[in-house]
Amino acid sequence: MSAPHPLDTSLALEPAGANLWRSPSSPLYWNKIGPFGGWIAAVLLAGVQREPAAEGDPVALQAQFIGAMRQAPFTVRTALLRRNRTTAFWRSEILQSREDGGPEEVCAHAAVTLSAWRDTFTMRDARMPAAAPAASLPPPPPRRSGTPEFIRRYDYRMASGPMLTGADHMNSLLWVRDEPPRALDAVSIAALCDAPFPSVWLRLTEPVMITTLVYNVFYRTGAAGLARAGAGHVLMDSRCDLAADGFYDQDTNLWSADGELLAQTQQLAWFADRPLKPMPAAG
């Protein structure tokens, strides 16, 4: 029997009462100073999916990251707000006690929409951009000491738009796959949607700190479509319209290798106006 995938291990949630789930936290998807935002979104969705009353596939996840999280136990609290004939609306929150031992505070919350997919007509203007196949592109280089843990959880293949080269645009094409490979599902998509590197880094020559504030994921296919995509790379077509006054947008379409639009994500992020300071040397 194979070992659980790191994503599944990191999403361990134990019942802690009605609509409450408890997690010991996990370092597997850690960023420099906190959890990877996509992982936080995956936790918010996982809490809803574990509810016995949850029915249907996710069609939308709309999250706000409102407070820092520590490497410490936390609680997921869910609530069914309303159920219509085919669609249900849920709220999901992550709560964690303050470092000084104070009461739990909300660190992130999301509106999660579940629904049944219906057999309707299809019209599509979006087209998968041309890109070299993932297998023809060089694999990521060996991870250096100090690389954030979440970077180790993905296989990145840059198809266009290398970072920090002073490009004249903020658009990139990137193939991404879970590492080790894992069959796609709604939870892994919630995390993958945050995998593209910050769009503003294309126009810059030095990285600046960024923090996602609002994170939306819209699923464009259900479990059957994700199963067709399997465990391979997905192409992430990422773009930015404006970075100004401390905030920038980032919109991304996720395509399967066969050209199926799997999901779309929209983000509003905060950015610093000065380059990141190098991390202090160990010792």
pTM score > 0.85 for this model?
Answer: yes
User: What does the domain layout of the chain look like in residue ranges?
Assistant: 6-116+132-272
The pLDDT score that the predictor gives to residue 282 is 36
Give the chain as a 3 state SS string.
CCCCCHHHHHCCCEECCCCEEEECCCCCCECCCCECHHHHHHHHHHHHHCCCCCCCEEEEEEEEECCCCCCCCEEEEEEEEEECCCEEEEEEEEEEECCCCCCEEEEEEEEEEEECCCCCCCCCCCCCCCCCCHHHCCCCCCCCCCCCHHHHCEEEEEEECCCCCCCCCCCEEEEEEECCCCCCCHHHHHHHCCCCCCCHHHHCCCCEEEEEEEEEEEECCCHHHHHHHCCCCEEEEEECCCEECCEEEEEEEEECCCCCEEEEEEEEEEEEEEECCCCCCCC
Token readout for 4 is 């659980």
The pLDDT profile of the chain, 283 residues, written as one tens digit per residue, is 678 999 999 999 999 999 999 999 999 999 988 899 999 999 999 999 999 999 999 999 999 999 999 999 999 999 999 999 999 999 999 999 988 888 899 999 999 999 999 989 999 899 999 999 999 999 888 877 778 899 999 999 999 877 788 888 889 999 999 999 999 999 999 999 999 888 999 888 898 999 999 999 999 999 999 999 999 999 999 999 999 999 999 999 999 999 999 999 999 999 998 776 654 443 3
Instruction: Answer whether 234's CB lies under 8 Å from 257's CB.
Output: yes
> Given this structure, which CATH class describes domain 6-116+132-272?
mainly beta
φ/ψ of residue 44, rounded to 5: -60, -40
